[in-house]
Structure 1
Amino acid sequence: MEAGFSRMNDLTVLQASQGLAMYIEQNVTDAKTRGVVVGHDHRHNSDSFARLTAAAFLQRGFKVWYYKDLVHTPLVPYTIKKLNAAGGVMITASHNPKDDNGYKVYWENACQIIPPHDEGIAASILQHLEPWGWDYDLVDSSDLCVDPRDQGVIDAYFEEVAALSSYSEDNANSKVKFVYTAMHGVGTPFAERAFEAFKLQPFIPVKEQVTPDPDFPTVAFPNPEEGKGSLSLAIQEADKNDATLILANDPDADRLAIAEKQKNGEWKVFTGNQIGTVLGAASYEKAIASGKTPGQLAMVASTVSSKFLERMGQVEGFKFEESLTGFKWIGNMAKQLEKENYDVVFSFEEAIGFTVGDIVKDKDGVSALAFFSEWAVQLYDKRGLTVYDYLEQLYQKYGYFVSDNSYFICHDKSLIQTIFHRIRFGDQPERSEESSFGYVLSYPKAIGGYKVVSVRDLTIGFDSTTPDHQPTLPVSSSSEMITFRLENSTVFTIRTSGTEPKIKYYSELRGDSEEQSKRDLAKVVESIGVDLMEYKKNGLEKKKED
């Protein structure tokens, strides 16, 4: 948040809102009467940014469903769904540092915007840069402004959360102890109510972190994905109270981190892929127990997330689809599967984002928190298993999935282009008039000593597995993204970051044992750096993700 046209400030928020208002007015049926939803978290300036956003729509004659109090991010898309609104905006920086803020846009389908709407909105903003006014108080005086709380929307949300529960009596009688941290965010009242909806015994709060504080005084980064460092106070609280499970939301409570105390006294912070494995398997078990058949069910994960659910779907017979990275793609993929009459019971991305059921088509750390806690009670009290034990059982049945995610620092965009050009076309590119890519494709035949069995390149639009070699996922030339599958069941994706000078990779291998899987994957990871990136020759700095 700073002055400047490329920063988040009152002017740029107002301009964005004016452009968005005009675009929705022109492209959504009955947009003004259906209205738009505006919510905000506790970040510095979130309240004033939300007021300006609402004011832009009010000045165009829109009804505005305006949350005057703090809300967690999933309530905005839920409110769009519940009230059939024309779109929505959430002012939040999620888990970013304290100096940041953000502007998240949802379309009338209650999903984050994707092309062509993102481009259309950007063009509309440029056409409406002159401020219409600076009335921060219009939300307090306009008859067009209504707080969704007065319409019972939050009550309806928690009724749908409660419907995810299958074992409320067991929950009420359980002695399993949970510690919860909101990471200085807005999650506490929503997490408490979710526990009440499931009839779970109250969790133990990390008192220093349960109240919203935009300065995040006890954590260097307000991101529970950072691991034990960000969870240090929660671990202390759990040890003091003899609790075995820690639940952590990020500041806007759309993500969920989980840690469990192991039998040796050490704390295990689960990765997003491991949490996704547990929640996905639990969703499948509960759906089957309710009378669903595998053929009715579907799950979605982003392309850089674990392929565990893909493998489980192959074994059990449910539909699995992958999407591009981010819940704007995951949510829209889920909507498409629903149109095909599938019951999408779970979706996730490796960055600790999870959607259980169909309450929202966005990640929701509150409903996922309650759903997980109920499942943990079943594991502890009915099966005599820890969460880690359950994860091990899943790996024994479907294969051990080990991952290694890392990245290389590269500030030279032309060097990045050279690296990926070589990966596609080889050391001595051969021009070809017959090729739509200008050169003969020459992807590596083997990586780490293992044969390449398929390649999907979403930058140039090539997929070796489809009949016409056209990818089924969207193609974008604005970023680099290639996925390789190897004969030893390794899948890895290399891609550039849209916001940082990084070449990232996400690698995973499915094997018969954890030890062997780690050894085999290590060979591939070494080859990614040495043979594909040529990181020493190109002067790239290799980093290890936490």
Structure 2
Amino acid sequence: MDTTGLKERAEAWRQADPDSTTAAELAQLLEKGDWTELADRFAGDLEFGTAGLRGVLGAGPNRMNRAVVRRTTAGLARYLKAHVPDVATRGVVVGRDARRLSAELTEDTAAVLAAEGIPAHVFPTPVPTPVTAFAALHLNAAAAIMVTASHNPPEYNGYKVYWGNGAQIIPPHDTGIAASIARVEAANRVPLLTPADARAKGLWKDLGNEVGEAYLRAILGLRVHQRGSQTLSIAYTAMHGVGGVWAERALREAGFPRFTAVAEQQEPDGRFPTVRFPNPEEPGAMDLSLATAERVRADLVLANDPDADRLAVMARDADGRMRMLTGNEVGVLLGHYVLTQGTKRARPYVVTTIVSSTQLGDIARALGAAFDEVLTGFKWIANRALERERTEGTQFVFGYEEALGYTVGTVTRDKDGVGAAVVMADLAAWCESRGTTVLGYLEEIQRRHGLYVGGQRNVTLPGAAGAQTIRAIMDAFRASPPKRIGSAQVSAVRDYKQGTGGLPPSNVLAFELEGGGRVTLRPSGTEPKIKYYFELKESLTAGEPLARARERAEGRLARFIDDFIALARERGQPT
């Protein structure tokens, strides 16, 4: 290891760091001679990727900190001035969650925008990510920035960027912004205005209640039947995030008075004291929600992640037990509901991703709706919907990705956990009025359109060494695709790195199986993980109980997953 060069880079960064806390952190690492830690922090710049930045808080260019955010904002501002002629009139929306350092990063963002002559429309208190996305459209802003790390652990923060169309950025803007950031001067030389000076010049505009009120009116308008229910009992968790007051107000105004919040998780708290990983999909994250649901005998559990752009759902089965629905099951329910029960459209259109279930596509084709499958990430869903609306006149009604992200209609051009919660409650009330349940409705869909079962396995490999291992696994599968996975014959290989199916190139591989089924693998765009997605379709015999068919399908799926993981280990995945 070249410790001399590393020491020089670290010292230069420390001297340019505008934050005394992270500057002192670097000084301590240098004094200790912790070259392994320093090497990781200076392995490169935190990549401006999927929707901006996301990383562990700390000192150095490969961490989330005030120096990185100031330079990123300067690069973004200069790119906007070069590509959006009226940016100085329209301005940029700036929102934040309640995580550690979110307030400081928001202030830096607005101060740099103001110094560049771009008005910053700033939410003065934490808001859900979908509210910031909504504000971009509502205010006709040139862009929007949301300081959030979504559902990551407490040591993370992030910086999400929206274009003026309300959708997360895609090429060429993401690469153009990244190139602009690379040209920015050292952090301590990035110009910025103090909040007082920026406000005095009209370049810092604190947003009032009007935007939030408009958002709530808009998502209440997404309800299909708009009846509510005086008897349906809903338990809800904000997961220590910012969705609590928004979801409670929206659901109560939607006509659901039997609303019970998980008290221990309702208030924003960036420490996330009751969960290690504030993601509803993680083991244990829903334990308090389940306990609350049993205490009040709730019919439905709705859970947002900390920035409230995702939604998790639990519902009671025929035996009265709460069952967690998968993201694909929720997506199929909401998609089928709005297609069959919502306002009739001349050219209805739904979208999902290449790692989500294929079932929504089958349903759309059966119902005569337009359908697309896009790359992973809601930016692709939103931008593809905008493109087809513009060029073909389709009418977007629903989009989802299996990682608990859904949007109904065009209130936001991003996933919206609060709006989806309102529509899911509306769906549950409609089921109740028909004498059935959410899971009863799901069975109706599965009997008509097929039983699909899926699973996912994530392998976390942190740091530079982990990133190298992930690359090695993908390279090995790409160089030598399996001909069989256990007893299943591979019938086709889809390498999305080559731009398969007209999609932009992406580091994703999919192996399709004879007789139906597939496995898809990709590195995460926001976390140090490699992700594997599995799906099988099961045929039901006439009159067969769904529970029996599901048990058979899940047994097949478990064996299939085990067989694939064994192959992954052979190709370099740690045991």
Letter in 2 for 1:133: L
Q: Is the 8 A contact 2:311 2:406 kept in 1?
A: yes
What residue number does 2:573 align with?
A: 540
Task: Tell me the distance in 1 between the aligned counterparts of 2:295 and 2:550.
Answer: 33
Alignment of 1:495 with 2:553, yes or no, is no
Q: Point out the more displaced range, 31-40 or 408-417.
A: 408-417
Instruction: Give SS of 1:260's match.
Output: strand
Task: Tell me the distance in 2 between the aligned counterparts of 1:133 and 1:424.
Answer: 47
Task: Tell me the distance in 2 between the aligned counterparts of 1:519 and 1:207.
Answer: 38
Instruction: Specify which of 276, 298, 319 is matched with residue 349 of structure 2.
Output: 298
Instruction: Give SS of 1:192's match.
Output: helix
Q: Is the alpha carbon distance of 1:61 and 1:418 closer, same or farther for their aligned partners in structure 2, counting shifts above 3 Å?
A: closer
CA-to-aligned-CA distance 1:198-220 (integer Å, 9 cap, x gap): 23325111122111111122222
Instruction: Specify which of 213, 216, 221 is matched with residue 272 of structure 2.
Output: 216
Q: Is the 8 A contact 1:409 1:541 kept in 2?
A: no
What residue number does 2:327 align with?
A: 272
What residue number does 1:351 align with?
A: 403
Instruction: Give SS of 2:126's match.
Output: coil
Q: Indicate the percent of aligned positions where both proteins have the same amino acid.
A: 40
Q: Is the alpha carbon distance of 1:499 and 1:160 closer, same or farther for their aligned partners in structure 2, counting shifts above 3 Å?
A: closer
Q: Point out the more displaced range, 332-341 or 46-55.
A: 332-341
Q: Is the alpha carbon distance of 1:347 and 1:286 closer, same or farther for their aligned partners in structure 2, counting shifts above 3 Å?
A: same
Instruction: Specify which of 532, 537, 553 is matched with residue 517 of structure 1.
Output: 553
Letter in 2 for 1:200: F
Letter in 1 for 2:345: K
Q: Is the 8 A contact 1:42 1:212 kept in 2?
A: yes
What residue number does 1:386 align with?
A: 437
Q: Is the 8 A contact 2:477 2:571 kept in 1?
A: no
Task: Tell me the distance in 1 between the aligned counterparts of 2:261 and 2:557.
Answer: 39
Q: Is the alpha carbon distance of 1:7 and 1:243 closer, same or farther for their aligned partners in structure 2, counting shifts above 3 Å?
A: same
Task: Tell me the distance in 2 between the aligned counterparts of 1:282 and 1:458.
Answer: 31
Alignment of 1:201 with 2:228, yes or no, is no
Task: Tell me the distance in 2 between the aligned counterparts of 1:414 and 1:99.
Answer: 22
Letter in 2 for 1:236: A
Q: Is the 8 A contact 1:158 1:197 kept in 2?
A: no
Q: Is the 8 A contact 1:51 1:139 kept in 2?
A: no
Letter in 2 for 1:460: Q
Give 1:249-268 correspondences, 5 Å limit: 249-268=304-323
Task: Tell me the distance in 1 between the aligned counterparts of 2:526 and 2:352.
Answer: 22
Q: Is the alpha carbon distance of 1:212 and 1:423 closer, same or farther for their aligned partners in structure 2, counting shifts above 3 Å?
A: closer
Instruction: Specify which of 358, 364, 376 is matched with residue 428 of structure 2.
Output: 376
TM-score by length of 1: 0.86
Task: Tell me the distance in 2 between the aligned counterparts of 1:498 and 1:166.
Answer: 34
CA-to-aligned-CA distance 1:476-518 (integer Å, 9 cap, x gap): 4xx3x11122232202212234566644310101121324433
Give 1:381-530 correspondences, 5 Å limit: 382-407=433-458, 420=474, 423-426=477-480, 443-461=481-499, 463=500, 471-476=501-506, 479=507, 481-498=508-525, 502-512=529-539, 513-530=549-566
What residue number does 1:144 align with?
A: 203
Alignment of 1:316 with 2:367, yes or no, is yes
Letter in 1 for 2:449: Y
Instruction: Give SS of 1:70's match.
Output: coil
Q: Is the 8 A contact 1:80 1:87 kept in 2?
A: yes
CA shift for structure 1 position 390: 1.4
Q: Is the 8 A contact 1:55 1:138 kept in 2?
A: no
Q: Is the 8 A contact 1:52 1:134 kept in 2?
A: no
Q: Is the alpha carbon distance of 1:416 and 1:72 closer, same or farther for their aligned partners in structure 2, counting shifts above 3 Å?
A: closer
Task: Tell me the distance in 2 between the aligned counterparts of 1:363 and 1:114.
Answer: 16
Q: Is the 8 A contact 1:92 1:103 kept in 2?
A: yes
Q: Is the 8 A contact 2:130 2:414 kept in 1?
A: yes
Instruction: Give SS of 1:102's match.
Output: strand
Q: Is the 8 A contact 2:240 2:266 kept in 1?
A: yes
What residue number does 2:14 align with?
A: none
CA shift for structure 1 position 176: 0.6
Which one has a larger percent helix, Structure 1 or Structure 2?
2
TM-score by length of 2: 0.82
What residue number does 1:56 align with?
A: 112
Instruction: Specify which of 332, 344, 348 is matched with residue 383 of structure 2.
Output: 332
Q: Point out the more displaced range, 322-331 or 400-409.
A: 400-409
Q: Is the alpha carbon distance of 1:78 and 1:420 closer, same or farther for their aligned partners in structure 2, counting shifts above 3 Å?
A: closer
Letter in 2 for 1:155: E
- Coordinate RMSD, CA, aligned: 2.3
CA shift for structure 1 position 149: 2.6
CA shift for structure 1 position 73: 0.5
Q: Is the 8 A contact 1:159 1:197 kept in 2?
A: no
Letter in 1 for 2:510: T
Letter in 2 for 1:163: G
> Structure 1: which 5+ runs fail to align?
427-442, 464-470
Alignment of 1:84 with 2:111, yes or no, is no
Q: Point out the more displaced range, 232-241 or 67-76.
A: 232-241
CA-to-aligned-CA distance 1:243-267 (integer Å, 9 cap, x gap): 1211111111111111123343432
What residue number does 1:437 align with?
A: none
Instruction: Give SS of 1:312's match.
Output: helix
Q: Is the 8 A contact 1:490 1:521 kept in 2?
A: no
What residue number does 2:242 align with?
A: 186
CA shift for structure 1 position 419: 5.3
Q: Point out the more displaced range, 121-130 or 339-348.
A: 121-130
What residue number does 2:34 align with?
A: none
Matched length: 503
